[in-house]
């Protein structure tokens, strides 16, 4: 569709952020002039009163910059061909870069303070908005180097961060233009079409796509292995220079999450692998007695065609989220009525979906609604993000409202599970029920088990390099194939090329990130169970201790307060039982 052909009620109204472009321009000019005021505080943060004034000023400027950036990029996301919108977004990006440069003196100055000086500010009621920020500074102090050393590392970072860029060029710009002949037609082989081809009901098509796709990585495997090995080496060297025990500790401490969460995840998932093996056996039988790696994405059940028009889909989602209370549902309707949701796909619009917004402006959601079953789940997912942001923003100050990526997917996945449970409870149609159960099982396989396998592979790679052993095509591929066999079991034919799957995972260049998908899924299963079966007290705790918690303390502690302790066996036990129950229900159906 062309944007002008879409009804206004399905296009978001950005006036909640800025009433007009003129208002944006005024704020832009004012923010630029304010940035210059930050220099007056350089060298003076040792003085608590000056530090407090600086925090207040920097927050004021940061919030203004955030609003400018969000408005400009959201406007551009609805039409990437609009030159005016693109220009606005580029200007906002430049402003934020300038703000970052102007504040580069802050962390070195704060970490140069003694523990006593930091404790003095942390315990001062006037610093209440900034106490967690200062606690994080104190925690990082032992790992901050001298000003000169930090400068050298920062400059070298421009080079050492390049391994991710190199991989992205290999994986996108230099990805060869390959075509496959499918049913007499030429189909381009891209990342997107590959995912679709693996869902094709014809096994010969799936095999052809799998073989051709992995041939591309196999032909480049030596270059990719060298790129990844050096990225691992860079992570280990950086952690060592900063005095961390290893790269995992360095990554997790930056999120203020204990390393025990990572090891507990791997340990718990390993204990639950028999359930995944049982699911693989079920798939193998369902597909005729043979199960290859290229068969794992082929739906066991045709889409039940739950897809419908947007109004009906939104109504279904709000009905599914009824356990969260009338006030929650009223907020969802307000978002819709206030035109905070951009619904329809249109020319030039960004693909996918997201929830975004600036502090104090209320959240927005971008969709590309096409009426599929998946699109209904996307509505629930993005509204989960939106409500998490809205409750946190209204409950906390700017400094504490933003939540960590460690918990970012929890509320959204909780909403998806509530929707799935609602649909299962309200339909008796056999095909629909089988589809929903299959959808849930695949969600577990990809978000929980597979990401845990990735996490275990990352740990192997970093430990191997830390011991001084080389990471080669052979060692990386051998380790990956061994993990693949451990996770998927004997029911699967572990096709030779799957040993190279590690070479196509972009998240590996953001070390120790993928485990958060698995822990997020685990937390969401527990929380949805508490919401449905824990009574009003459990629901109240979900709102008070999680949705309204923002980032006022460690994200691990926030989840623990909400009833999910990821250092214990209980949440993983609940998740595994949920997976088994869904599988057994599908077997009955």
CA atoms within 13 A on the CB side of 273: 17
- Specify whether the CB–CB gap between 556 and 439 falls below 8 A: no
Rounded CA-CA distance 329/365 in Å is: 16
Rounded CA-CA distance 453/461 in Å is: 13
- Dihedral of CA 440/441/442/447: which sign? positive
Dig out the tokens for 373 from the structure.
């079953």
**Beta-carbon contacts of residue 573 (< 8 Å; ≥ 6 apart):** 268
What distances in angstroms separate CA 361 from CA 13, 15, 26, 59, 227, one per listed residue? Answer: 12, 10, 17, 16, 42
- Specify whether the CB–CB gap between 187 and 202 falls below 8 A: no
Rounded CA-CA distance 553/17 in Å is: 28
Beta strands, E only, 36-191: 178-182, 185-189
Nearest to 402 by CA among 176, 136, 124: 136
Rounded CA-CA distance 220/350 in Å is: 30
Dig out the tokens for 279 from the structure.
């699911």
Dig out the tokens for 163 from the structure.
């391994």
Catalytic residue among 218, 249, 382, 458: 382
Question: How many other CB atoms are there within 10 angstroms of residue 320's CB atom?
Answer: 23
Nearest to 511 by CA among 551, 554, 460: 460
- Specify whether the CB–CB gap between 367 and 343 falls below 8 A: yes
Strand partners, 356: 364
Rounded CA-CA distance 221/381 in Å is: 36
> Which secondary structure element, helix H or strand E, spans residue 366, and what is its range?
strand 364-369
> Is residue 270 among the annotated active site residues?
no
Beta strands, E only, 432-555: none
- Specify whether the CB–CB gap between 542 and 527 falls below 8 A: yes
Dig out the tokens for 504 from the structure.
């196509």
Helices 410-426 & 373-395 angle (0-180, nearest 10)? 130
**Coil, helix or strand for 412?**
helix
Strand partners, 186: 181
Question: How many other CB atoms are there within 10 angstroms of residue 548's CB atom?
Answer: 18
**Coil, helix or strand for 355?**
strand
Q: Which residues are catalytic?
A: 382
């Amino acid at each position: 569709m062309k944007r002008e052909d879409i009804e206004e009620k399905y296009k978001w109204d950005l006036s909640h952020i800025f009433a007009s472009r003129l208002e944006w321009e005024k704020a832009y000019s004012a923010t630029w002039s304010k940035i210059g005021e930050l220099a007056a505080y350089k060298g003076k943060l040792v003085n608590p009163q000056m530090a407090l004034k600086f925090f207040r000023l920097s927050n004021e400027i940061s919030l203004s910059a955030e609003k400018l950036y969000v408005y400009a990029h959201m406007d551009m996301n609805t039409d990437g061909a609009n030159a005016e919108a693109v220009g606005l977004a580029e200007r906002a990006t430049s402003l934020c870069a300038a703000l970052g440069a102007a504040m580069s003196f802050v962390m070195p100055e704060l970490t140069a303070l003694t523990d006593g000086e930091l404790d003095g500010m942390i315990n001062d009621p006037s610093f209440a908005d900034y106490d967690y920020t200062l606690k994080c500074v104190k925690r990082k102090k032992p790992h901050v180097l001298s000003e000169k050393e930090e400068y050298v590392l920062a400059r070298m970072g421009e080079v050492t961060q390049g391994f991710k860029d190199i991989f992205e060029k290999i994986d996108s710009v230099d990805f060869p233009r390959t075509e496959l002949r499918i049913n007499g037609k030429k189909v381009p082989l891209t990342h997107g079409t590959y995912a679709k081809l693996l869902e094709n009901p014809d096994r010969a098509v799936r095999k052809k796509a799998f073989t051709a796709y992995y041939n591309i990585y196999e032909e480049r495997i030596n270059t990719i292995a060298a790129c990844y090995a050096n990225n691992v080496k860079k992570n280990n060297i950086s952690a060592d220079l900063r005095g961390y025990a290893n790269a995992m500790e360095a990554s997790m401490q930056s999120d203020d999450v204990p390393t025990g969460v990572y090891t507990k995840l791997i340990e718990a998932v390993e204990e639950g692998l028999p359930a995944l093996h049982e699911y693989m056996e079920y798939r193998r039988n369902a597909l005729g007695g043979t199960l290859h790696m290229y068969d794992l994405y082929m739906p066991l059940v045709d889409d039940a065609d739950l897809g419908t028009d947007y109004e009906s889909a939104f109504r279904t989602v709000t009905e599914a989220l009824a356990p969260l209370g009338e006030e929650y549902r009223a907020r969802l309707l307000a978002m819709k009525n206030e035109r905070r949701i951009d619904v329809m796909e249109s020319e030039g619009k960004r693909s996918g979906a997201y929830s975004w917004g600036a502090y104090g402006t209320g959240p927005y959601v971008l969709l590309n609604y096409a009426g599929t079953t998946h699109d209904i789940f996307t509505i629930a997912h993005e509204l989960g993000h939106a409500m998490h942001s809205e409750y946190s923003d209204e409950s906390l100050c700017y400094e504490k409202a933003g939540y960590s990526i460690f918990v970012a997917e929890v509320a959204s996945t909780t909403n998806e599970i509530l929707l799935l449970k609602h649909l299962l409870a309200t339909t008796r149609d056999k095909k629909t029920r089988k589809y929903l159960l299959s959808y849930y099982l695949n969600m577990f396989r990809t978000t929980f088990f597979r990401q845990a396998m990735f996490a275990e592979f990352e740990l192997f790679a970093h430990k191997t390099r830390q011991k001084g052993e080389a990471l080669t095509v052979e060692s990386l591929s051998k380790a990956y194939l061994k993990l693949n066999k451990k996770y998927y079991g004997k029911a699967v034919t572990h096709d030779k090329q799957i040993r190279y799957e590690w070479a196509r995972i972009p998240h590996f260049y953001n070390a120790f990130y993928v485990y958060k998908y698995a822990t997020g899924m685990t937390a969401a299963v527990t929380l949805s169970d508490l919401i449905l079966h824990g009574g009003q007290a459990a629901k109240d705790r979900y709102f008070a201790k999680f949705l309204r918690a923002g980032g006022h303390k460690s994200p691990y502690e926030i989840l623990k307060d909400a009833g999910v302790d990821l250092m214990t066996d209980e949440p993983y036990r609940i998740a595994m039982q949920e997976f088994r129950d869904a599988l057994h229900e599908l077997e009955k159906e």
